[in-house]
Each structure stands twice: as C-alpha cells, then as structure tokens.
Amino acid sequence: MTHRSIPALLRSGLGQLKEWWRPLLTAATLCLVIVLVGPNDQIDRRLSDRLLASQKTQADPKILIVEINGEDIRRYGGPPFSRDGLTKLFDRIGEARPERVLLDTYLGERFDPAIDQRLAQSFARLGPERLGLVTSPGPNDRPIALFAQHATIVDARLTADQDGWHRRIGDGKRPWGVNAAGWLATGSTSADPVKLDLRVATVGYERYSAHEVISGQVPLDGRLVVVGVSTKVAPSRAFLPFTASADRAAVLALGAQSIRSGYPALSKTGGLVSIALGVLAVALAFVCALFARSGKGLTIMSGGILAVLIVASVAVARIYAVAIAPASMLACFAVMVNVTLIQRLKLVPMLTSFLKGDISPEEAWAWRSCEQASHPAVLLSANGRVKRANREGASLASMLGDDLASLLVPRVGEQSSTITITEADESERVYEIDWPYTNVAIAVLRDHTEATMLDRTLRQQLLTDELTGRLNRRGFEFALNRAAQSEAGYAVFFLDMNGFKAVNDTHGHDAGDELLVRSAQRLAKQLRPEDSLARLGGDEFAIVVPRALSELEAEHLAHRLARVIEQQVRIDCANAMVRVSAAIGHAQPRHGFESTAQVLRRADQAMYRNKTTSKQLREAA
C-alpha cells in the first residue's frame, strides 16, 4: 500500500474485473443450463425421495378414508357401487356431521330419477361447504347438475412428474376446479397445485369399509373424510415414491395433511435455502480454485468443501422436507472449479497464442508457472522486446516500454542481476533479477529497495566520519582499493594542519571541531565529484584521486589545497577569527607492481618532509 496509490489499486481492480467477467459469465451460464436441463434430475429426485420417505411422519388422525371394497359392492349392489348404496352411505355420513367429505367417484350420468333424487337429498344435508365432488376425465366431464348444486366441484387430478411419480395434486396451468387437497384441508377455493409431504407414511391413515360406516361403527364427527373405491375393485394410477401402498384416496388424504401441517410454507423456505446452498457451492468452488496453490491442495480443499455441502444438503432435506439437488450442485461446483482454473492458468489465451505462433511450447510451459508469481515477471523475445508480462509486471512494462528489456538484457547474451528504476516521483526502486530458466528468457523481479537502502545507510555509517560527513579511515581504505583496481591509475594526498592544537587550547574543543568541519568543506570544493576526501583522525585528512596525474597537476592541486586551509576562518562558537596552515604530501604508484602500502608510505613521508620544512622556515623567520 505504501508504493501504490488508491487510483492505481482501483485501476488494478477494474482490470481484474474486465479479465474475469467473461469466464464467470460462462460458468454461470453452464450452471444455469445444468439446473434447467436437469441431466442429474433422476439421481437428485431419487435421493431426495428416499431421504423424505425414511423419516416416516405419522398420518393425521383427523383424516380417514372410507374404502368401498368388493364386499360392499356385493352387499349394496354393483359394480360399480350402486347409487342406492351411496345414498345409505351419505345418509349416515350426514348424520355423523364430519367437517368435510370428498367423494372420489365420478357421478356424470343419470341413473334412476327416484334414486338420483334420494342421493341428491343426502348430498344436500352436507352442502357445498362440506361436500366435494370430482371432475373426470376432462374439464367438461362434471357431475350432473342435480348433484353439482349441492357440492363444491374439485379438481382431483394427480399430476405425475416426468419420472412417473406423484409429488403434487392439481395442475395450476389448466385447473378444472378447486384443488381437492386444499379444499379438503381448509375449505379453500384456490386451484393452485399442492406439494405432497412425502415424509408422511400413508399406510397410517384410518381406513373403513362403506358397510362399517353405514352400520354406525365409525366416528366421523368433525373429521375429514375421503370416500373412494378400493384399488382391488378399480385400480387407480397413484404412485408415491418409495411408498409400499398408495391409492388415490391416500394421495388425496396426504395432500390435505400437507396443507394442514404448513408444509407449503416450509417447502418454500426450504427451496430458498436450497437455492442459497447451490449459490454458495458455486462461490466456494470459485474461491477454492482461485486460492489453491497446488493440485494436492485443490483436491483436499474441494473434497472438504463437497463433504460439507453434501451434509448441509441432507440437513436441508431433513429440516425443510424439500427436494434437494446434490448431483446438480456437484456438477455446478465442478464447472466453476474448471472454468476458474482455466482462467487462472491463462490456458485459453496461451493456447490461442500458441496456435498463432506467438509463443513456443517451451515458453508457454515455462511462462505458465511464472505468470501467477507475486513478483513482477516478464517474458522477453529474441529481438529484445517484452513478449509477456504478468499482472505485477504489467505496470513496469507500461511505464518503461522497451527500456525494460534493455535494462534486463543490456547486451546480447548478457543478463542483469539488478536494475534500478527511477519512478515518476523521482524515487528509486531497486530490483534483483532472477532468471529461473536457462533456455527461456523469463525474468522475475524482486523488489530489493528497502534492503538496498538499508545497506547503503549502514555502509554510509560504517565508512563516514561523524563530525565532517566525509569518509573515515575505513572509507578511505575502501576508496583507495577501488582506485587501485582500476587501470586509470591514482594519486594519494596526505594533509596535516599546523596550528590546530593552538586553536583547541585557546578556544576549546568545540572551536576545533568547527574548524575541522569548515576545513573539510573548503577542501571538498577544490575536488571533483569522483575524488574522495577522508578525515583519518584528529587534524589529518587524505584524498584519493582515481586517475593518474602529472607531477605539475599534483603540485598545483597540493598548492590549492594548502592555500584554502591557510585562509582565515571565523569560528562562530568562539566568536573569533583563526588562521592555520597545512603540510601536504602526495604520491602515485611508480610501477604497476607497487602496492598501495608503498604509495601511502611515500605520501606520508612527503607530508612530513613538507611539515619539517615549514617548521624550519617559521623558526628562521
């Protein structure tokens, strides 16, 4: 954050968004296709049905089924069950005052006017609020008007799903009447389909024959009654998943119980939770593939996440009693993981570049491992240009252009180990260069600025005199050795101040220190930038000139240095003017094999000869 401004970060974020929106849109589209087309629907449905059926919720004791069986038909006439028998049955039902009764037998034909009239009178005792009659087999096949006027016409169709199993009652797109389950449960006149709560064990509903009801053996007061024909008499097409025994009457009873238990609201909430779980699975797949550092890590992370998602999915099925889609969820997870990996590894643009001939197979393979590096990385072409740059290196490539390649490879066959880049604010950044491949020109740049600056600071503290800010003795030796290694030659000057002790004794050590600082400043003005000035200790100075000097040039320089030292100096801390002189000696290597120690000895001897001569002249004067 210290080196990147907020606008730069925003630009980087927008760049990543532009880079990722296409693959994410592709993954989202594929996941939507999986959900809508449902290639895994059969697996998901069977698993959901088994989870629901395994819970075996008890049947509602308020609901009972009156089953017209073969014995009833033989006793009261038929087949089908005679209307005289129906009259006796509903006379008894009317007397028992049930809450609602649904007759699941079609009465669309007239039989005998007298018998039909008596049956209509039995229906009239219940009325439309308590009696429901079904339509069959089409929307216009309604009960005759004589019966319909005393009942609510209900749509009792069992709408099967694509796999042939019944999981709902009614058809919301083409209602033929009031939904049978909703009406039986609450008296609702809505035609909306009703989902069946498959947890309920339908074998638990109380069942009685018509004869048991007619003979007064069955308590019906306040109960919900479904009257239907036994499947042994008239087989019905009712198939509840994983239910050993189910018929139309049982399915209609199950629909009523689903309404009464609040299952539609629970199912709706569960559906939303299931959708949220699917979205979470896709998001976790993206995060997993985005941050995995290895194939092993990806496998472990994916396995752990999938285990948690499957457990959560099963929990949703048990808590909310809704269909779940673990297979589809896993498929969406796999799609997002693969799309994210393809984008992260840049396989599509890499393949495109390879087909265009823009990158060789060796470069493609090597670059794939470096492109995701956290440090700037660039791939160089043979003609000295930047061919590829990862996200961290793109800003450098944009700022420097072709100069970046020139810095990394200054000459053919040469590779830089460090480079220094001057940024827009004039600050310098130092990068160490790593070349991980011998046969592919990929450079990985590691920011070494802080370490370099710290090293410079420590080196400066180690080589610098604290008082004057010039080189100390160690710094002088470093400058001397560097000059000696050059083929240009060098010259050494020693300088010792005359009269410095008198200034110290007269005006104090602070005045002496100020004199040394002023003298160092004057001496530095007589030198070139590449010359090195050092204070060896006390009032002794030394100078290294990293080039060969003629004897005349050396004498002139020594004369200038002595003259500036001899000029009068104002000492502010003592409010006094002082004057000192200097003895200077110099030497240069005479032969290529002469050591620096020998040169220093001759320069030192020359300084002392000059000091002795100056002293003799002062005494003679």
Q: Which two tokens stand for residue 129?
A: 């609020």
Q: What pLDDT is recorded for position 341?
A: 82
**401 or 489, which is more confident:** 489
- Supply the DSSP symbol for 203: G
Q: What pLDDT is recorded for position 213?
A: 94
Compute the distance between CA of residue 404 and CA of residue 31 in angstroms, rounded to an integer.
43
| pLDDT single digits (tens) 374-419 | 788 888 877 778 888 888 888 888 888 878 888 888 877 778 888 8
Average pLDDT score over residue span 517-534:
95
Nearest to 577 by CA among 518, 618, 537: 518
**At 17, is the pLDDT very low, low, confident or very high (cuts 50, 70, 90)?**
low
- E-assigned strands of 112-185? 131-134, 152-155, 168-169, 178-179
Lowest mean pLDDT, pick from 163-167, 311-315, 583-587: 163-167
| pLDDT single digits (tens) 306-323 | 999 999 988 988 888 888
Compute the distance between CA of residue 96 and CA of residue 103 in angstroms, rounded to an integer.
16
C-alpha distances out from residue 4 to 14, 139, 453, Å: 15, 72, 19
Compute the distance between CA of residue 284 and CA of residue 379 in angstroms, rounded to an integer.
33
Residue 386: in which H helix or E strand, if any?
A: strand 386-389
Q: What pLDDT is recorded for position 3?
A: 46
Evaluate if residue 353 carries a pLDDT over 70: no
Compute the distance between CA of residue 399 and CA of residue 95 in angstroms, rounded to an integer.
95
Highest mean pLDDT of the ranges 295-304, 359-368, 546-555: 546-555
Compute the distance between CA of residue 181 and CA of residue 183 in angstroms, rounded to an integer.
5
- What is the percent of the chain where pLDDT is above 70? 93
Lowest mean pLDDT, pick from 235-249, 515-529, 536-550: 235-249
Evaluate if residue 513 carries a pLDDT over 90: yes
**At 6, is the pLDDT very low, low, confident or very high (cuts 50, 70, 90)?**
low
Q: Which residue has the tokens 């028998």?
A: 85
Compute the distance between CA of residue 228 and CA of residue 249 in angstroms, rounded to an integer.
6
| pLDDT single digits (tens) 40-57 | 678 888 888 888 888 888
Compute the distance between CA of residue 126 and CA of residue 132 in angstroms, rounded to an integer.
10
Packing angle, helices 391-400 and 6-37, rounded to 10: 140
Evaluate if residue 13 carries a pLDDT over 60: no
Nearest to 68 by CA among 169, 213, 243: 213
Average pLDDT score over residue span 456-473:
85
**Phi/psi of residue 457, each to 5°?**
-65, -45
- Supply the DSSP symbol for 435: -
Q: What pLDDT is recorded for position 151?
A: 94
Residue 126: in which H helix or E strand, if any?
A: helix 113-126
Q: For every residue of 259-311, which 3-state class applies, written as one string?
A: HHCCHHHHHHHHHHHHHHHHHHHHHHHHHHHHHCCCHHHHHHHHHHHHHHHHH
**At 422, is the pLDDT very low, low, confident or very high (cuts 50, 70, 90)?**
confident
Q: What pLDDT is recorded for position 399?
A: 82
| pLDDT single digits (tens) 56-65 | 889 999 999 9
C-alpha distances out from residue 70 to 232, 482, 519, Å: 8, 119, 131
**At 224, is the pLDDT very low, low, confident or very high (cuts 50, 70, 90)?**
very high
Q: What pLDDT is recorded for position 231?
A: 83
Average pLDDT score over residue span 257-283:
91
Compute the distance between CA of residue 207 and CA of residue 611 in angstroms, rounded to an integer.
133
Q: What pLDDT is recorded for position 355?
A: 65
Q: Which residue has the tokens 């999915």?
A: 313
What value does the CA radius of gyration of the chain take, rounded to a whole number of Å? Answer: 51
- What is the percent of the chain where pLDDT is above 90? 43
Q: Tell me which amino acid residue 617 is.
A: L
Cα four-point dihedral sign 409, 411, 415, 417: negative
Q: For every residue of 445-489, which 3-state class applies, written as one string?
A: EEECHHHHHHHHHHHHHHHECCCCCCECHHHHHHHHHHHHCCCCC
Report angle CA 306, 309, 314 to the nearest 5 degrees: 125
| pLDDT single digits (tens) 100-138 | 999 998 888 888 899 999 999 999 999 999 999 998 767
Compute the distance between CA of residue 341 and CA of residue 288 in angstroms, rounded to an integer.
10
**At 260, is the pLDDT very low, low, confident or very high (cuts 50, 70, 90)?**
very high
Nearest to 177 by CA among 154, 193, 156: 154
Evaluate if residue 350 carries a pLDDT over 60: yes
Nearest to 255 by CA among 157, 341, 348: 157
Q: Taking phi first (over 0 means left), then psi (-120 to 50 degrees means alpha), and beta for anything else, what does residue 235 get?
A: beta
Q: What pLDDT is recorded for position 613?
A: 85
